[in-house]
């Protein structure tokens, strides 16, 4: 039995490694942009759909499991994707300033191309007022790494300075509800219980 992480995300890899989980990494064969354009679902439902699509897109043996995960950011009813460039990242940060960010992360397990389990959670992040000087200095320090992050922040880096308060699981904010995933892996005998 093997475990595959269908993700290009370094932080998701790091979370699993720090938890002592043995896994391999394979890029998912799933067009998330097409799925996003086809659905106007709420954050948790869309994150779940994307996580399931990624998990089911990786072909594995009959006893193997695939983890898929994704995150969605919504601010004032607008869904944001990863910025295309630094200018768009700055525009996103301006739009987030003094607003509430809803960050939904989902994780799914698939075996044999079929989704067996999913879980989604939403965290609420209160973004502090940010000046243009702060936004530019932040991007000077964090770009291009935050260009790979929905929400234009890495909580494990300087992204923590964007917020006044946070409600929700730290792992959900990092991009994958880790504790429910570990429980699902134990229930399936992938991890010791």
Residues assigned a catalytic role: 70
Nearest to 70 by CA among 40, 106, 102, 46: 106
Higher pLDDT, 95 or 1: 95
What predicted TM-score, i.e. pTM, was given to this entire model?
0.94
Cα-Cα-Cα-Cα dihedral sign, residues 172, 124, 159, 90: positive
Gyration radius of the chain's alpha carbons? 17
pLDDT tens, residue by residue, 94-113: 999 999 999 999 999 999 87
**Range name among 2-11, 16-25, 35-44 with the lowest pLDDT average:** 35-44
Q: pLDDT band at residue 38, thresholds of 50, 70 and 90?
A: confident
Which residues lie closer than 8 Å to 153 by C-beta, 6 or more apart? 142, 146, 159, 160, 162
What span, in angstroms and rounded, lies between the C-alpha atoms of 107 and 50? 9
């Amino acid at each position: 039995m093997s475990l595959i992480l269908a993700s290009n995300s370094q932080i998701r890899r790091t979370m699993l490694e720090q938890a002592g989980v043995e896994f391999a990494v394979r890029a998912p064969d799933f067009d998330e942009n097409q799925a996003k354009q086809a659905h106007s679902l709420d954050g948790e439902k869309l994150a779940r759909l994307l996580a399931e699509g990624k998990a089911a897109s990786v072909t594995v043996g009959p006893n193997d499991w695939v983890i898929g995960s994704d995150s969605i950011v919504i601010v004032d009813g607008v869904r944001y994707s990863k910025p295309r460039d630094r200018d768009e990242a700055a525009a996103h940060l301006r739009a987030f300033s003094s607003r509430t960010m809803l960050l939904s992360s989902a994780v799914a397990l698939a075996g044999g191309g079929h989704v067996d389990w999913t879980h989604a959670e939403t965290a609420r992040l209160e973004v502090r007022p940010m000046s243009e000087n702060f936004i530019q200095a932040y991007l000077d320090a964090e770009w291009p790494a935050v260009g790979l992050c929905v929400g234009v922040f890495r909580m494990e880096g300087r992204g923590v300075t964007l917020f006044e308060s946070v409600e929700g699981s730290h792992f959900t904010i990092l991009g994958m509800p880790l504790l429910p995933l570990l429980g699902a892996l134990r229930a399936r005998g992938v991890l010791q219980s």
